[in-house]
Structure 1
Amino acid sequence: MSRPLIAVAGRIAAAGRVSRSEISFAGRVYLDAVLRAGGEPLTLTPRELTHEQAVELLSGFGALVLMGGADVDPQLYGQQRQPHVYGVNHEQDLFEIALVHAAIELKLPTLAVCRGIQLVNVALGGTLIQHIGDIDFGDLTGVVEHAPGKFPAGQDFALHDVEVTPRTKLSKALGTTSARVASFHHQGIDQVGKGLKVVARSLDGLVEGLEHGGAGQWLIGVQWHPEDTATSDLHQQALYNALIAQTQ
């Protein structure tokens, strides 16, 4: 049985030791998680896309993965950029937003990770908390560590618990309603985009999971990084397994 082709929205990186020219890439941990689940990941090179072009591009794939990464341009959700915002790439944002709208039209199974959940929320008219360190969670302030001390540098991640709403696509995919997750972010979901519903939160109340409620849609976003602990936590790998299962 052939492996279903899984589109992974790629990034552009500067030339260096690996290549004399810029490179288009996807993170190895995402690719490995897809491979373990039985999919064949292919990296999509960022470019300017019309909606029609995005639909045509994704029509040959069984599912879509949106990776974590730098911050979404606040202009896209009607706000001015605040000091903690980093790594903004407006063209990358527009590329991924085009993919989101195309995937929804095609009802293409989609897993959106960390930045990915934020990008989906913005694409559907939602807004973001630009820096969760500026938010007063009351008695729960500081209870949850959402990023390691050296964020955004380094490869380490924080660990914290999330509670998942029972009988949701996310809980069924994970096989649990409570999970210990790898976290590496300083922004969060604020106003929820059209068609999305909150299906997971951390102990401080921050949104950790969204899914699309439309008929025939399997679009799940998680604020954490399931691929980072997928080799040791079966529930995290199960999320990628569920994505690939949707292609069959």
Structure 2
Amino acid sequence: MNWLNLRRFLPLLMVGILSHVPMAASAQMDWITPHLQSLEFGRQIDQIVEQSRTGGATQQQATSVDALFVPSAARTQENVSRFIRLSEQAGDGGQLRSYFVAQPTLMGEIAQAMRGANLDPQNVADCYALWWMAVWQAANGVTGDPDSRTVAAVRRQARDVFATTPGFAETSDADRQQYAEALMLQTLLLSAANEQFQGNPAALRQLASSARQGAVASGVDISRMTLTSDGFVMSF
């Protein structure tokens, strides 16, 4: 997704990443709290996407439950430290740490780029929409910028998912921020790898497999979905 200005991050992000493609695609669920992992986002996603296929309404509770959070710079530092620690435990060789040493304002720059795409980095649903599009592109070897209609449609679907997921309304600002920042960083890693691996079929196949596995671990069977200008629809 070039609308995140990924090309300027590529020299930084791609050092050593070829050895850690699975980490880049599938670490998301390891980065968030067990409470958030227990929420059934996947079930709601299937319902929302199926409604899109059948032309049903998708605005069920979006006005009564939002996915906003009040951000904290201290929590961002805590989250980044957690992501780095878990990545090193998973064997990333210190790559994620090196990214933040070289680019300490990385999370803020991703947030700024999201705003340029009319996505709110202080809304977990918008961060999910960003990741949802990126993981689908990585799973299918697709690059390029989703147009504004597509982004708006997926944002609406993601907001509906979070508005209708039981238990999400009770989550804390801290939990929401941790999930949002995990999604933002995973998007950058996925998209950077997808851009870089164009022309390398073996690496693209590995990335696609890891992206699908990571999505399934998050409760989303991305292989059943197609991204369209009206948002995600079921492929069959």
TM (norm. structure 2) is: 0.26
User: Which of the pair has the greater relative contact order for Cα pairs under 8 Å at 6+ separation?
Assistant: 2
TM (norm. structure 1) is: 0.25
Give the structure with the higher percent helix: 2
